[in-house]
Structure 1
Amino acid sequence: MKIGLVSDSLSHLSTLEVIKTASELGLERIEFATGNWSTAPHMDLDGLLNSADKRATLLRQLDDHGLKISALNANGNQLHPGPSGAVHAACADKTVELASLLEVENVVMMSGLPAAPGDSYPNWIVTSWPPETQEILGYQWEVAEKYWTKQAALARQNGVKICIEALGQQLVYNLPSFLRLREITGDAVGLNFDPSHLIWMGADPLAIIREAGSMIYHVHAKDTFIDRYNRATTSALDNRPMTQSRERSWNYVTLGYGQPETWWNEFCYTLAHFASPELTLSIEHEDMNLSRLEGVRKSVELLKRTAMFEKSDYELPAI
């Protein structure tokens, strides 16, 4: 396994400072955001697309510090019915093109979420009643199929794999919805496996790893703390701002502050056993209560204890 970093975790640093910090922490991979929900503080998408010199400079800086790019990240909602949908879709397409130019295998994206027919905002359907929910879902998947058929073809043309992150307020948010998308796209699309979202929704990431297996292409190392007292009255569905961390039923936290270290041992082992021992664990820091550098540092320290880095060489004893 490789330990990496989502560069937005250190968004207050310059690109070169992020690269140097990652190297000093002993990391091997960096995941750069290119736009959409990110301000892309470390990557000039259009500049890199249009300049071979800029691409060469970035790759040289990474190489000088013993780093490679694990993925480019274009997380957003390409299926939004408003103007932002077209903007996000364009950024996603450019990101696939740039990944090809940089010889980066993975592009992290969301599935997107359309609205109900005629609506102006996305509609996340999480129940089967009343009956119109199924009508809305049917329409949303029609919209998604048109987009993702083209997007899968674009990925194949560029020799890139798209890694879908299952997230609430997205069409793909659990394993069944991902498998439905996979029926449309084939293996051009896999999972960017982020356990933090699955934890707050009540799923078991370890069970999903066993089912998804080789369909996992990339991993976000991010944790979630479940406040059992707040959750008892709020449920898992908490729409209060992240800044209200004391009142919320769940919050994103630094690795080890949600699930214990023993859980992360099992997480890494299950990934290696059922998915691939070659995966990158890309640390994504979104903890409201720790500094960015401390959160990333503590996460690195935990993963260095729980991940596996050497190829297995065990052999059964001769009889």
Structure 2
Amino acid sequence: MKLGFLTACLPGDDLADIARWAADQGFEALEVAGWPSPDDRNHIRVDTFDQAEQERVGRIFAETGLALSSIAYYENNLHPQAGEQVNAHLRRCVDAAAALGCPTVGTFVGRDPGLSVRDNLDRAARVFPPLVAYARDRGVEIVIENCVMKSWHPDGYPGNLAYSPELWEWMFTLGLKLNYDPSHLVALGIDPVAAAMPYVSEIAHVQAKDTEILPGTINRFGFYGPISGEKGWYRFRVPGLGQIDWRMVIGALREGGYDGVVSVEHEDHVHSGSTERVQTGLGIAYGTLRHLVRG
């Protein structure tokens, strides 16, 4: 396995600077943000990808010796208005990944909040197979993160229909792979180790984020969380500052045969606000995971 991180936590920084810092710290890979402009999470400029951009990105990875593990574009592919635009950009991400020799592109299933879960699954069964075929024809796998995305639903219900093993089994039938993130399972009351073990062969990428349970808060809000805009009963942290037993998680992945990249997804607000604070958080994650990933 190799240890890397998702560049979206450093939206204002240049990819060359991020890559040099990552290599100097001992990271071995980057999962690179590829949202379209004007979103500043576009360290690979997928929407204007051309020969010059291919050469720029390729040179950065060649000079630093890092692996490009995935192009990240996590949006709602079932959005009732923007879905076609999202899918078109996803194809551009696939084209860029193929040109750069990158094995995966990461996204969400999403949902239309105006439809039932069953109707959303039926719609996804029409939307995703052509995307999967497009990617595989170019040597790329589409990987889906198991994030809940409650903010995409007006009542806080799951906005990304890929949050549980039941839904993983369904999306595997469409040819999608899993970008496994244990932090979201903790927040659903699911044991991340027990959940992952039967499906390691379908995991094509891993994101490492931790979950801190805030003492006493669940007694006020309940499992589904607040409706008032208050902070909920958990928050995301960098690995090592939450509840997850990373020794068990990495051990389960290794036992199941996973030998890909473990990519830190930094969404820790304690270690945010500047490049230096984010780098401090990434350093904590590196110290937590390094010996486990390379062991």
Match of 1:100 in 2: 98
1:114–1:6: structure 2 CA closer, same or farther, 3 Å change rule?
same
- CA distance in structure 1 between the aligned counterparts of 2:294 and 2:243, rounded to whole angstroms: 19
Q: Any idea what SS the aligned residue of 2:270 has?
A: coil
Q: Is it true that 1:288 corresponds to 2:269 in the alignment?
A: yes
Q: Extract structure 1 runs of 4+ deviating beyond 4 A.
A: 239-242
Is the Cα–Cα contact under 8 Å of residues 30 and 70 in structure 1 kept in the other structure?
A: yes
Counterpart amino acid of residue 198 in structure 1: L
Task: Give the Å deviation of 1:87.
Answer: 2.1
Superposition TM-score, scaled by structure 2 size: 0.89
The answer (yes or no) to whether the contact 2:45–2:53 under 8 Å persists in 1 is: no
| Structure 1 Cα separation of the partners of residues 218 and 12 of structure 2 | 33
Aligned mate of 1:200, from 159, 183, 187: 187
1:289-314 C-alpha deviation (Å, 9 max, x unpaired): 122111111101111132235xxxxx
**Residue deviations 1:168-193 (CA, integer Å, cap 9, x gap):** 1211111101111212x23xx21000
Confirm whether residue 147 of structure 1 aligns to residue 132 of structure 2. no
Measure, in 2, the Cα distance between the counterparts of 1:69 and 1:241. 40
Runs of at least 5 residues in structure 2 that lack an aligned partner in the other structure:
149-158, 272-276
Higher Rg of the two aligned structures? 1
| Count of residues in correspondence between the two structures | 279
User: Which SS does the other structure have where 1:22 is aligned?
Assistant: helix
Q: Deviations over 1:84-118 (max 9, x none)?
A: 2222111111111111111111111111212334x
Gaps of 5+ in 1: 118-135, 310-319
Cα offset for 1:36? 6.2
Q: CA 1:46 to 1:36, structure 2 compared with 1: closer, same or farther past 3 Å?
A: closer
CA deviation after TM superposition for structure 1 residue 240, in Å? 6.4
SS in 2 for 1:228: coil
Give the equivalent residue in structure 1 for 2:166.
176
1:238 to 218, 222, 225: 225
The residue that corresponds to 1:133 in the other structure is: none
CA contact (8 A) 1:209 1:274 kept: no
From 229, 232, 250, the counterpart of 2:216: 229
* Native 8 Å contact 1:268 1:308 kept in 2: no
The partner residue of 1:160 within 120, 127, 140 is: 140
Question: Structure 1's 239 and 87: CA in aligned 2 closer, same or farther, altered over 3 A?
Answer: farther
The 5 A counterparts of 1:19-34 are: 19-34=19-34
2: CA distance, partners of 1:275 / 1:36: 34
Indicate if the aligned counterparts of 2:135 and 2:141 stay in contact, CA closer than 8 A: yes
How far does the alpha carbon of each residue in 1:263-318 deviate from its partner, in whole angstroms, 9 at most, with x for none?
A: 11111111110141x12110111111122111111101111132235xxxxxxxxx
